Amino acid sequence: SGTGVLATDGYLTVADDLTVAGSSVPRGYVGSATKSSQTDHTTAFSDVLSLTVSVISGRRYRVTAYCSGSQITAGPSTTRAQILDDQSGSVQFIYRTDQPLTTILAGNGAWHFTATSTRNAVIKIQAAASSGAYRVATGVAGAWLEVEDIGA
């Protein structure tokens, strides 16, 4: 590992951890997950979906997320969903202040972070409803997460 040539056949050269002007090129897909069970979310943020991925100190990562659910008990409710990384970074990608009963609320979002250490990082989607409950179903129709390495 390091900078340099990993293999060449005279026409195609495969680089090993190629560095250009001090920045490593993106390494792409790191991991993804889809929702495996139905969950209801009430007043405090709780986990919709969790994904553990290996990250490298100093590298940047893009997290993309999708969440879809419905208000299943009397509203209206302020309904929220967020992406959360294990370095205490987060971004809300769903926020509605008047979520009525049985109405579907869906959204997607993206979050970038730079790993502060090499480790197994835990990335989550969390949701909450100020009254009643926000129900998220299973599978890609309910929620998914994807993490990509976008360079250093």
Q: Are 138 and 48 in contact (CB under 8 A)?
A: no
Residue 43 has pLDDT above 60, yes or no: yes
Q: In this structure, what token pair is assigned to residue 119?
A: 């480790």
**Is the pLDDT confidence value at 11 over 80?**
no
18-36, pLDDT tens digit by residue?
544 445 788 899 999 999 9
Residue 1 has pLDDT above 50, yes or no: no
Helix or strand run (H / E) with residue 145: strand 139-151
Closest CA to 145 of 81, 89, 67, 68: 67
**pTM for the structure as a whole:** 0.80
CB 68 within 8 A of CB 105: yes
Q: What is the rounded CA–CA span in Å between residue 132 and residue 43?
A: 8
* Helix runs in the chain, H state only: none
Please give the mean pLDDT across all residues of the chain. Answer: 85
More confident residue, 13 or 60: 60
Residue 39 contacts residue 136 (beta carbons within 8 Å): yes
User: How many Cα atoms within 13 Å fall on the side-chain side of residue 124?
Assistant: 15
Give me the pLDDT at residue 101, please.
83
Window from 7-21, 29-43, 120-134 with minimum mean pLDDT? 7-21
Paired residues of 107 in beta bridges: 67
Q: What is the pLDDT of residues 71-98, one digit of tens each?
A: 888 777 888 999 998 887 889 998 888 8
Dist. CA 64–CA 145, nearest whole Å: 6
How confident is the model over 102-107, as a mean pLDDT? 87
